Amino acid sequence: MKKVLIPTQLDAVAQEILEAHGGYAVVQMPKADIAQLLRDNPDTHALIVRSEKITAELIDLAPALKVIVRAGAGYNTIDIRYARKKGIDVMNTPGANSNAVAEEVVAMMLADARHLVAADISTRAGDWKKSEYMGSELAGKTVGIVGLGYIGQLVARRLSGFEVKLIGYDPFTSNEKTAELGIERVSLPELFEQADYVTLHIPENDSTRGMINRALLGRMKPGATLVNCARAGILDEDSLRAVKAEKNIRFLNDVYFKDAAGLKSVADIADLMLPHLGANTHEANRKAAELAARQLIDLDDRGITSAVVNRDVPVGLDPAFGRLANVLARICRCVLGKDTQLKLVESSFYGSLKPYAKWLLSPVTAGLSADYDTSLDHASTRAFLADMGVDYVDRPTDDSKAYTNSITLDLIGHLDAERLVRASVRGTVEEGNMLVARINDFDKLYFEPVGNWVVFTYEDRPGVLGQIGASLAAAGININDVRNPHDSKGKCSLAILKISPAADDAVVQKIAADIQANIAFHIEL
């Protein structure tokens, strides 16, 4: 059992998921003295924290520590360099707080446009200053979004119903994604010139610190509004102070250099100030807890490192594609045959996944072999496959096929000394959900690979699906979902059934014999 410490006020779902997995013992003690907790638990494998400061001194108290998970986005409170030196992976949960922050941005814009805070205070005091609180509407305005990551994209989606014009700046987000969101790509100076509202959604680092400066702010329209729910350091406050005096720029703020009580340096220029409430929702807390637990399991069991922030892992890879790569490999291995000797693995990573091919090989390999050490880097993973006698080819992709941000895996194995057999699967991620699109020649499946499934292929004829259903019912197994397509030639059928509870091998093999199946297996995903 791997011990996990949670010395913070985190939703109980993290502990529930880890304990249900069966491989973890969890100690959750909110507001505990972390140093003493680590001294009392020297066998700690993982630490899950929120905004607690994790220093080199604390790390040294945990000789068995392998993982630190920040249940949230920012990880500046963790000494990630020292953790790397000690061989400890640090992960965050990007996206967990995204919707909460996006909704807060819209709420701040509306509250300011309609003077809700001041009007509430005035009316409670017995005043009736209706004429003084003449507001403005969002409809018809131009909103500029600086940074089109998780939060920036959600802000665009949340504002889409307000009939605003959306413009955006991000040097990395694809043209396809911005077009899908209805955002016109513009340069950063053009965005500040055109927007009635500018909302900031970029990280703070050496290249962005002080990025919102006098040159950009000076381009804003008189009376335009700047919203900062990102990081305090990206804004040059003195520049805003000067431009605000000239152009009456409105400033709505939720981020500060220090999250603590005390006077704030922007108090004189902020028209609306909140105490860093962006991620402060019950839903965001639960989602961060759930992601923290699942990412720890993904790292330990499947080698998925896309959420690790102190390894050489590219920013921008959605962790869901790591899970997808692992699941597709597991499904493809079952289709090929678990006992079939593997000869060749071929992968195709389409769209924005191309740059991440070498990182995605790790979860693929973990899905193929239980003997794979998930801590291996790309070169070592290739060596592991070679040692298994397995060749690996990452195929060049043709984006004209329109398989945007999808993964195709092909496996070739030895059916016998003279014959080879091939299995192929393709999948993608839509709105955070994995989808399997194709298995061999059976296309347009679009099922979510979660839960228990039984899979059969057989020569097409009437009555077989009913026969499978009757056999499962006789075994006390319920069917929750079904896919039953023909192949491209109409000669063979595929039956994919989501079931509850799981089917044991005896049930699957009996059905396979009864229907003369070519392929038959059960898989838990």
Residues 231 and 354 in one domain: no
Residues 70 and 214 in one domain: no
What CATH code is carried by the domain that includes residue 238?
A: 3.40.50.720
Q: Read off the tokens for 385.
A: 């496959």
**Number of structural domains in the chain:** 4
Nearest to 408 by CA among 279, 321, 282: 321
Question: Per residue in 272-306, pLDDT tens?
Answer: 999 999 988 999 999 999 999 999 999 999 888 77
Predicted local distance difference test score (pLDDT) of residue 120:
96
Q: How would you write 416-456 as a 3-class SS string?
A: CCCCEEEEEEEEEEECCEEEEEEECCECCCCECCCCEEEEE
**3-class state of residue 386 by DSSP:** helix
What CATH code is carried by the domain that includes residue 337?
A: 3.30.1330.90
Q: How far apart (Å, rounded) are the C-alpha atoms in residues 134 and 114?
A: 7
User: Is 509 among the domain residues?
Assistant: yes
**3-class state of residue 413 by DSSP:** strand
Q: Read off the tokens for 185.
A: 């790509």
Question: Of the residues 414, 449, 484, which one is the last residue of a structural domain?
Answer: 449
Is residue 53 classed exposed, middle or buried when 0-12, 13-18 and 19+ CB atoms within 10 A define those classes?
exposed
Half-sphere exposure of residue 515, counting CA atoms within 13 Å on the CB side? 31
Nearest to 196 by CA among 227, 171, 154, 173: 227
Residues 356 and 441 in one domain: yes
Predicted local distance difference test score (pLDDT) of residue 313:
46
Question: Alpha-carbon torsion 131, 115, 224, 161, what sign?
Answer: negative
Phi then psi dihedrals of residue 90, to 5 deg: -110, 125
Residues 304 and 336 in one domain: no
Residues 43 and 120 in one domain: no
Question: Of the residues 273, 300, 329, which one is the last residue of a structural domain?
Answer: 273
Residues 405 and 421 in one domain: yes
User: pTM for the full model?
Assistant: 0.60
CA distances from 368 to 373, 396, 438, 448, 518 (A): 12, 22, 18, 20, 21
Residue pair 184/196 in contact (Cβ under 8 Å)? The answer is no
Region of 276 (left: φ > 0; alpha: ψ -120 to 50; beta: rest) is left
Residues 264 and 305 in one domain: no
Domain that holds residue 335: 315-449
User: Is 279 among the domain residues?
Assistant: no
Residues 412 and 380 in one domain: yes
Question: Of the residues 431, 449, 467, which one is the last residue of a structural domain?
Answer: 449
User: Is 378 among the domain residues?
Assistant: yes
Predicted local distance difference test score (pLDDT) of residue 402:
64
Residues 127 and 242 in one domain: yes
Question: Length of the chain, please?
Answer: 525
Predicted local distance difference test score (pLDDT) of residue 173:
61
**3-class state of residue 393 by DSSP:** strand
**3-class state of residue 206 by DSSP:** coil
Residues 164 and 184 in one domain: yes
Residues 233 and 345 in one domain: no
User: Is 29 among the domain residues?
Assistant: yes
Q: How far apart (Å, rounded) are the C-alpha atoms in residues 349 and 331?
A: 17
From start to end of 204-340, where are the E strands? 225-228, 250-253, 272-273
User: Is 278 among the domain residues?
Assistant: no
Question: Per residue in 180-219, pLDDT tens?
Answer: 899 998 999 999 999 999 999 987 876 688 999 999 999 9
Residues 132 and 262 in one domain: yes
Q: Which residues of the chain have pLDDT under 70?
A: 171-176, 206-207, 311-316, 370-371, 373-377, 401-402, 417
User: Is 184 among the domain residues?
Assistant: yes
Residue pair 4/27 in contact (Cβ under 8 Å)? The answer is yes
User: Helices (H) and strands (E) in the chain — how many of each?
Assistant: 17, 21
